Amino acid sequence: MTAAENRILELRAELDQHNYRYHVLDEPSIPDAEYDRLFHELKALEAANPELITSDSPTQRVGSAALSAFTQVRHEVPMLSLGNAFEENDMREFDRRVTEGLDLPSGDLFGGGAEVEYSCEPKLDGLAVSLLYQDGVLVRGATRGDGTTGEDISVNVRTVRNIPLKLQGSGWPATLEVRGEVYMSKAGFERLNATQLEIGGKTFANPRNAAAGSLRQLDSKITASRPLEFCCYGLGQVSAEIADTHIGNLQQLKDWGMPVSRELKLAKGIDECLDYYRDIGERRNALAYEIDGVVFKVNSITSQRELGFRAREPRWAIAHKFPAMEELTELLDVEFQVGRTGAVTPVARLKPVKVAGVTVSNATLHNMDEVARLGLMIGDTVIIRRAGDVIPQVVQVVTERRPENARPVQIPECCPVCGSHVERTQLVKRSKGRETVSEGAVYRCVGRLACGAQLKQAIIHFVSRRAMDIEGLGEKSVEQLVDEGLVSSPADLYALSFEQIVDLEGFAELSSKNLLSAIADSKKPGLARFIYALGIPDVGEETAKVLARSLASLARVQQALPQVLTYLPDVGLEVAYEIHSFFEDAHNRKVIEELLKHGLEIQDQGELGAEFAASTTLGGMIDKLDIPSVGPGGAQKLADKFGSLEAIISADWLDMRQALPEKQANAVREFFAIEQNRQLALDAEKQLRDFGMHWQSEKKVVEGLPLAGQTWVLTGSLELISRDVAKDKLESLGAKVAGSVSAKTYCVVAGPGAGSKLVKANELGLKVLDEEAFVAFLAGHGITV
């Protein structure tokens, strides 16, 4: 066997395998760019050795066999593939072949050739679909499959909102097969992945996989819940001619209600095609959907016929590809970075690779859950994706290429910077009156300000513009101050002397004086600014403002119990615990004390914020205790009957029964029989009173609830949970439930048969949950149905 023969067999076997994974399993294991390279290597070898071409070579067919679970569909007119051009020269070559094929004058170096009219369209990155209309009614939808035989996905395509079930207007041919691409917008893809993560479902590497995985679902209800879109770009079988140009055909299809690309244009001659390619290339990141190139087609149908086909590609069309956004590279190592709050974050060190024109050698891995989700090992070949301006991401591991010496990624036991212990964070959830603690995705170095990395970041944050706003202290200077041992807490900044500063690199007499006066000027911060500057984990500017506005004194913020903090808008139990434990920590308390000793005077302290003071009633507070089977209504009844928490706790069963039905009465008594629950409730009540909260106010407690401020809409028939119960549950979480969808709607729950409301939600790009996802979402908030 010759070397060429050997390589051909090898390439065919590998491509067959990739084809199967890509087309049948929807789980490609290598990026398209790598596939294209292997494919072209095979094509070139076969071109040089034509006697070795066999009919089963991947170059001789378009795709792979259909999934057996769908019915097979034969395409009367085969669904073809396109030849690719990567360089300008490939395009000029294509134009030359077209011109010659049409017997037109081809011109010379100085031009003068005939200018062929081409249609220009974006090449959407989704999957090709055939839609068959009989007498204007959609009767069948099919995938491309291997180009001759596809899968019948009629039920699925019907769920794609912008596919007309019936054509508009009149005059369509009795048999009309429309072809186009089903795809997912970038926003739809992000939303879908976010929902999938929330409900613990499978996430997708890119919008193409998400579209393919969503459309080829045996359960079309799942397809219906996915934000799929369609764009038509051509015709298949037709019983009568429509127009004599490609653009004329698309224009007519558009008039019949078909979605057609807004970017469709006519170009006269190859130079205008190249202009189009450049223009779209520049706007690629800003488009709402992903494209992997542009497609040029000879506009005249007569000319298309004249040119015909070569193998399984039309001679009259070509795809001019853009640089791929995904590439393969090797994971050389995983290093761990320590952030301001001590979070120890894995970072992928990659063998440098060019992705869409930019060399990538690092990628964030977010956290250890992400490492586990990817199944990542050091030494793995990975797929890197750089979509637009987004930070490069590792989207998939090519497990087939895992070397024998691959090593698992291990979170270090000790901080790589200071050697302190690294701990896994805990997630606190409270449901049905019980707190459960589970393991979080984040690991943290416990060294805090004793850890050089955290100290540096903490000080950089402390002096930053939106925090204490100390001008003249850049990152480099902070590093020096820490490394020289001049600063070991933010409080030390206020003890710096002129002599200490002037000796630092980059400082002279004037800049040292300026820095000292900037430090002195920062001594009267507003409360919100100060809280933000402390760098409490998960407390950004907004939360700092809420804390300052509501509690209005550093002392109250420092003392606040977690259960009291959850009364504040947008403060969940986890953040409440972070805040509480930050101020419980002796070291942090000492830093604050020292800051105050250095003369820091915190402004805007005073009376409890009015909106907070009036934000609850006794009923509201009882409701917040989350007593099993007691909703807001029951809680209010208890408040009306007993008037104080103490009275409810000590009430006997008979009294309780006067307020509530038996089941709820029992639940209340069982709840308060637990010492910890009693204590938690009484402590919270006492602190709220100490803070100056008044009970008489009738305002409902919604601000502190997890869905406060959100409007939800329920649509379609709900089967797992009744509409009333769903509404009740949402309201108990603080949401408003509305009857119609608008831009102000936060989320739409769409059951089977959802119609115009779902369409509108998709149009507005709103978050949509199907019923299962909704039930899972409720479970995530501790509500089981």
Contact residues for ligand IVH, defined by CB under 6 A: 80-82, 121, 123-124, 128, 144, 181, 233-234, 295, 314, 317, 319
| Closest separation in Å from C-beta 183 to ligand IVH | 8
- Bridge-based pairing state of the strands 313-314 and 317-321: unpaired
Closest CB to ligand IVH among residues 182, 493: 182
Report in angstroms the alpha-carbon separations of 711 from 187, 197, 404, 624, 670. 21, 22, 53, 20, 34
Residue 267 host element (H or E): strand 265-268
Number of residue whose CB is nearest ligand IVH = 128
Look up residue 591 and give its amino acid: V
Is position 663 annotated in a ligand binding site?
no
Closest CB to ligand IVH among residues 141, 433: 141
Closest CB to ligand IVH among residues 144, 226: 144
| Closest separation in Å from C-beta 322 to ligand IVH | 12
CA 63 to chain centre: 30
Catalytic residue among 43, 123, 523, 699: 123
| Closest separation in Å from C-beta 400 to ligand IVH | 25
Look up residue 58 and give its amino acid: P
CA separation for the pair 697, 77 (Å, rounded): 73
| Closest separation in Å from C-beta 123 to ligand IVH | 4
Is position 273 annotated in a ligand binding site?
no
CA separation for the pair 294, 263 (Å, rounded): 10
| Closest separation in Å from C-beta 128 to ligand IVH | 3
Contact 424, 372 (CB under 8 A): no
Residue 127 host element (H or E): strand 127-134
Closest CB to ligand IVH among residues 262, 465: 262
Is position 33 annotated in a ligand binding site?
yes
CA separation for the pair 480, 464 (Å, rounded): 17
Is position 415 annotated in a ligand binding site?
yes
Closest CB to ligand IVH among residues 297, 580: 297
What does 469-507 look like in DSSP terms, one character per residue?
Answer: --TT--HHHHHHHHHTTS-SSGGGGGG--HHHHHTSTT-
| Closest separation in Å from C-beta 39 to ligand IVH | 12
Find the largest Cα–Cα distance for the chain. 103
- Which residue's entry shows tokens 């640089």? 323
| Closest separation in Å from C-beta 35 to ligand IVH | 12
Closest CB to ligand IVH among residues 80, 618: 80
Cα-Cα-Cα-Cα dihedral sign, residues 105, 107, 112, 115: positive
For this structure, is 744 an active site residue? no
CA separation for the pair 355, 329 (Å, rounded): 10
Is position 297 annotated in a ligand binding site?
yes
Is position 144 annotated in a ligand binding site?
yes
Closest CB to ligand IVH among residues 147, 609: 147
CA 391 to chain centre: 13
Is position 36 annotated in a ligand binding site?
yes
CA 699 to chain centre: 36
CA separation for the pair 353, 361 (Å, rounded): 7
Is position 451 annotated in a ligand binding site?
yes
Closest CB to ligand IVH among residues 133, 233: 233
- Bridge-based pairing state of the strands 127-134 and 265-268: unpaired
Contact 243, 252 (CB under 8 A): yes
For 253, the 3-state DSSP assignment is: helix
Is position 686 annotated in a ligand binding site?
no
Angle at 674 between CA 672 and CA 680, to 5 degrees: 75
Q: Produce one character per residue of 65-101: b if its CB has 16 or more CB atoms within 10 Å, e if not.
A: ebbeebeebebeebbbbbbbbeeeeebeebbebbbeb
- Bridge-based pairing state of the strands 326-338 and 381-385: antiparallel
Q: Produce one character per residue of 415-452: b if its CB has 16 or more CB atoms within 10 Å, e if not.
A: bebbebebeebeebebbebebeeeebbbbbbebbbbbb
Residue 384 host element (H or E): strand 381-385
| Closest separation in Å from C-beta 126 to ligand IVH | 7
Residues in the chain: 785
Is position 585 annotated in a ligand binding site?
no
Is position 476 annotated in a ligand binding site?
no
Closest CB to ligand IVH among residues 39, 567: 39
List the catalytic residues. Answer: 123
Task: Tell me the binding residues for Zn(2+).
Answer: 415, 418, 451
Q: Per the annotation, where are the binding residues for NAD(+)? A: 32-36, 81-82, 121, 144, 181, 297, 321
